[in-house]
Structure 1
Amino acid sequence: MTARLADVSWPELTARRPLVLLPVGSCEQHGPHLPLDTDSSVAEAVAGRTAARLGDEMDLVVAPVQPYGASGEHEGFPGTVSIGQTALGLLILETGRSMLRWAGRLLVVNGHGGNVAPLARAVARLRHEGRDVAWWPCVPPGSDPHAGRAETSMMLGLRPEAVRTAQAVAGPTDPIEHLMERLIADSVRGVSPSGVIGDPAGADAAEGRHLLETMADGLAGDIRAWRVNDQGRLGSPATGSGANVAGRVKSSQGVEQ
């Protein structure tokens, strides 16, 4: 059984102990061509597709997306709204405590790399308190770091009307390891005046839908296995680079943004 939490009434949950999928994203710049809610849209889409795959196997509820995250590395661009690591961690901590009064398990489906450190800390605290909770990152295999081909393709697959294709430009395409020192020193604006790290050229809606379905397949498999590591991460570590860039910049700077 699967449902959207926003659509149910409380009596419908009295005899249930569902797994709650909580999508968490950001409101931050994604270049001149992608909307500010790109990370939130991807997390929400992956959670919804995963719930559709598992609805005949287990009791699932998809919570409303949390649209604000820790995005301080993008605050050089108008439109970015960051609540910082401390606030995000507390939000996840108290949300988890509240949800798990009536839910059986909680999985945070994360769409933004800058959220990783506070998410991991909050989940670790919840698990230490005896709650069955984990987090999972939306990282398409082989994706570029930010607002490049992968994210542009996924948004073309989700909301093509929100993609300003004519405004798409390439940003630095060096390996992220070569950019990290500059990212730490100057944040994203200092490395890429457009906000893009990667190249959106060749982005395609069908490719984007495939990436979303691939992530949903992976998440569904990880939920079935439900193996959680010491950092509260469900399943095996992701191999893509995109979702890790902001988190690596933040943790290296050692600041709350």
Structure 2
Amino acid sequence: MTSLANLRWPEVPRALLAVPLGATEQHGPHLPLDTDTTVAEELARRLAERVPGVVVAPALPYGSSGEHAGFPGTLSIGQEALELVLVELARSADHFAGIVFVNGHGGNLEPLRNAVRLLRAEGRRVFAWAPGGPPDDTHAGRTETSVLLHLRPGDVLPGEPGNTEPLPSLIDRLVSRGVRNVSANGVLGDPTGATATEGEARLEAWTDALVTAVRDWQAG
């Protein structure tokens, strides 16, 4: 894998630039605040290993996380600021053959869609992708806990269930009142039974989907 941060400017190729988008926010009492960033970085790294001509940029560790503001440690730049950051970042990257935003945080989706729409209207080659998951396991539940047990097991504590209602039934309350008002411990899902083996399988499935999506986009 080629990391942009480790290159000197004469070494920078005219390659596809993968930009991991994460967040710094609560992930229940058992997962670290940089969980989303860790996942996005790993997926971008795997993309670069599987698709020739991809360079991985340093991750953006702050996103739109206002719904988690009721928990200490959450740092959010909001939707408007995130959209502006993504637009200006992409505008500065004209040297590259294109940009792939690899997003690890659901709260980033709307500003990311808006940024991509504007950048494409300006004639820039930009693509965005985010992993999916079960609607009743969307935050610090079994999926993310399993992935972190595979990637950083020493940073994972035993987890307890949170609110396991499907996200569509929670979303209005979550947006208007925040995660704290729908889940006292910040978990949307049930991390009980999470395993590192399951986490690796999930990462492989996400990587396959990301690689396929990028190749299809490259093919036009």
TM over 0.5: yes
Q: How far 1:21 moved relative to its partner?
A: 0.3
Structure 2: runs of 5 or more not aligned: none
Which amino acid in 2 is paired with 1:106?
I
The SS at the match of 1:99 is coil
2:4 corresponds in structure 1 to 5
Aligned residues: 220
Question: Which whole-Å deviations, capped at 9, do the CAs of 1:186-229 have from their partners, x for residues lacking one?
Answer: 2100010100011001100011011111111111111111179x
Counterpart contact for 2:65–2:76, Cα < 8 Å: yes
Which amino acid in 1 is paired with 2:113?
A
2:75 corresponds in structure 1 to 81
Q: How far 1:85 moved relative to its partner?
A: 0.7
Question: Is 1:170 paired with 2:170?
Answer: no
The SS at the match of 1:200 is coil
Which amino acid in 2 is paired with 1:150?
T
2:84 to 90, 93, 107: 90
Change (3 A) 1:157 1:114: same
Question: Which whole-Å deviations, capped at 9, do the CAs of 1:55-86 have from their partners, x for residues lacking one?
Answer: xxx31100011000000000000000000111
1:145 corresponds in structure 2 to 138
Structure 1: runs of 5 or more not aligned: 229-233, 235-257
Change (3 A) 1:139 1:161: same
Q: How does 1:90-239 map to 2 (within 5 A)?
A: 90-100=84-94, 102-140=95-133, 144-165=137-158, 168-226=159-217
Distance in 1 (alpha carbons) for counterparts of 2:165 and 2:134: 18
Name the TM-score, length of structure 1 as normaliser: 0.82
Counterpart contact for 2:136–2:189, Cα < 8 Å: no
Which amino acid in 2 is paired with 1:50?
L
2:46 corresponds in structure 1 to 49
Counterpart contact for 2:68–2:74, Cα < 8 Å: yes
The SS at the match of 1:109 is strand
Percent identical across equivalent pairs? Answer: 51
Distance in 1 (alpha carbons) for counterparts of 2:18 and 2:218: 16
Counterpart contact for 2:14–2:96, Cα < 8 Å: yes
The SS at the match of 1:115 is helix
The SS at the match of 2:63 is coil
Question: Which whole-Å deviations, capped at 9, do the CAs of 1:29-58 have from their partners, x for residues lacking one?
Answer: 00000000000000000110111111xxx3
1:59 corresponds in structure 2 to 53
Counterpart contact for 2:136–2:165, Cα < 8 Å: no
